[in-house]
Amino acid sequence: MRMTGNTIFITGGGSGIGQALASAFHAKGNKVIIGGRRKAQLEETVKAHPGMESCEIDVRDPDSIKAAANWLILHHPQLDVLINNAGIMKADQTGGVMDDELTVATIETNLLGPIRLTSALIEHLKAQPEATIVNVSSGLAFTPLAFTAVYSATKAAIHSWTMSLRVRLRGSSVRVLELAPPWVRTDLMGGRDEPRAMPLDMFIDETMDRLAFGVDEILVDRVRPLRDNAGPNELAFVETFNDQMAH
């Protein structure tokens, strides 16, 4: 994708990977608008990056999505990049009695949110001379982590939907990319100080390099074993991976 001169909307831009991507794109001279539910986090991020803007959005709420999309189109008609990054990841009880509220929240945030927001902005993006949609999935889209089974399933669904979206937009001005992070040191699942996770700055540096390459899947080296697992013997890999993560 083009790395400068864009107008970019990033959901979940007040923390973690979203915030770091926003900062990196801002440093390259792009107009960046960050979205999220937590106003204080958005304001703190914007304050640290003069020229950046924010837009409150709850990706679980269809009305909030519509309102944010309308605001973006009105105030930023040059919007040409959407990064669907917002997500939640919590341990679940797959194999036992599930917390239905958590299950619904995870599916609405991680899967329905990107689908609905993309739908709300797609005709605007298609009208741009050149546009990009980046859907953030996960290495767990390809190799699930059993104690976050619903999260892993939503990311697998995002991968599948992204491929369909890419096919449906062939011949249009919109490029569809998938960014599949490995375990990264963020507050997600308390991983900020986890030595097994990839340092956030290292992940962002490698990701920005890969985004400039023109490939459809943005994969840092650390995530490739999870991405390449799919095949007739994938269950054995999944079981070994989960045994390793349990210790």
> What are residue 115's phi and psi, to 5 degrees?
-65, -45
**Catalytic residue IDs:** 151
pLDDT of residue 36: 96
Structural domain contains residue 2: no
Q: 233 pLDDT band (50/70/90 cuts)?
A: confident
Determine the average pLDDT of the residues in 117-146. 98
Share of the chain above pLDDT 90, in %: 88
Determine the average pLDDT of the residues in 96-124. 98
Radius of gyration of the chain from its Cα atoms, rounded to whole angstroms = 17
Reference 203, options 68, 21, 54, 62; nearest CA is: 21
* E-assigned strand segments in 67-212: 81-84, 131-136, 174-179
* Total domains present in the chain: 1
Structural domain contains residue 99: yes
> What are residue 184's phi and psi, to 5 degrees?
-120, 150
CATH of the domain at 38: 3.40.50.720
pLDDT of residue 193: 81
Structural domain contains residue 1: no
pLDDT over 90 (residue 136): yes
Q: 230 pLDDT band (50/70/90 cuts)?
A: confident
pLDDT over 90 (residue 73): yes
99: its two tokens: 């917390």
Which amino acid appears at position 231 of this protein?
G
The C-alpha atoms of residue 151 and residue 165 are separated, in whole angstroms, by 21
State pLDDT tens for residues 194-220. 889 999 999 999 999 999 998 999 999
pLDDT over 80 (residue 1): yes
Q: 114 pLDDT band (50/70/90 cuts)?
A: very high
State pLDDT tens for residues 17-62. 999 999 999 999 999 999 999 999 999 999 999 999 999 999 999 9
Task: Residue 177: give the domain boundaries.
Answer: 7-245
DSSP 112-133: IHHHHHHHHHHHHHHTSSSEEE
**The residue to which tokens 């107008």 are assigned:** 7
pLDDT of residue 214: 87
Structural domain contains residue 30: yes
3-class SS of residue 65 = helix
pLDDT of residue 168: 95
State pLDDT tens for residues 137-195. 999 999 999 999 999 999 999 999 999 999 999 999 999 999 999 999 998 877 678 88
